[in-house]
């Protein structure tokens, strides 16, 4: 008997190309925002870990590796509070990512906002929030429709890989 929980359901890009185009517009904004690639990789991986999105975890860890990040850097994300390898700015971004991703738990606490503002300008914080919103949207599409996670040897751009939803 096959496991229904891992079977792909439908290709949202074919069913609703306009939704895909709208989401891709937000992704392009985030990628062009000026935030460091390392920070964007961090946000994408951590939000996808929280959401349990296998497709996005595979995609973004492969991307981060291609951008020069170490396996240690990625493996420690689940325990970032205890791992000394992340900068204060990265820690503020991780706390912000967690608060915005889990917004129904406690909304976004003032102390998380204050720490984020200490490390990010107003524009950067808005752009960081857009990055968190974008990955949460992609995660939800992937979790709902279950595209097959790509293997590391399958190479193409992040935008191209979005076509497999």
CB atoms within 10 A of CB 135: 26
pLDDT at 5: 72
Residue 74: which pLDDT band, with cuts at 50, 70 and 90?
A: very high
CATH superfamily of this structure's domain 16-164: AhpD-like (1.20.1290.10)
Give domain limits for the chain.
16-164
Contact predicate 43/97, CB 8 Å: yes
Mean pLDDT over 38-58 rounds to: 95
The pTM is what? Answer: 0.86
pLDDT > 90 in the chain, percent: 73
Where does the chain have alpha helices with state H? 12-15, 17-31, 37-51, 54-66, 71-75, 88-101, 103-106, 110-119, 122-145, 158-161
In the chain, % of residues over pLDDT 70: 87
Q: Which residue has the higher pLDDT, 80 or 154?
A: 80
Q: What is the pLDDT of residues 54-73, one digit of tens each?
A: 889 999 999 999 999 999 99
pLDDT at 162: 52
DSSP 4: G
pLDDT for residue 99 is more than 80: yes
């Amino acid at each position: 008997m096959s496991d229904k929980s891992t079977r792909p359901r439908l290709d949202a890009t074919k069913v609703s190309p306009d939704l895909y185009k709208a989401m891709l517009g937000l992704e392009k904004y985030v990628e062009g925002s000026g935030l460091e690639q390392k920070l964007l990789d961090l946000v994408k991986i951590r939000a996808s870990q929280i959401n349990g999105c296998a497709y996005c975890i595979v995609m973004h860890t492969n991307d981060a590796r291609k951008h020069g990040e170490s396996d240690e850097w990625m493996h420690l994300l689940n325990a970032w509070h205890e791992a000394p390898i992340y900068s204060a700015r990265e820690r503020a971004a991780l706390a912000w990512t967690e608060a915005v991703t889990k917004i129904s738990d406690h909304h976004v606490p003032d102390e998380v906002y204050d720490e984020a503002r200490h490390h990010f300008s107003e524009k950067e914080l808005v752009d960081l929030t857009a990055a968190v919103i974008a990955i949460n949207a992609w995660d939800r599409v992937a979790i709902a429709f279950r595209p097959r996670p790509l293997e590391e040897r399958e190479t193409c751009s992040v935008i191209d890989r979005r076509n497999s939803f």
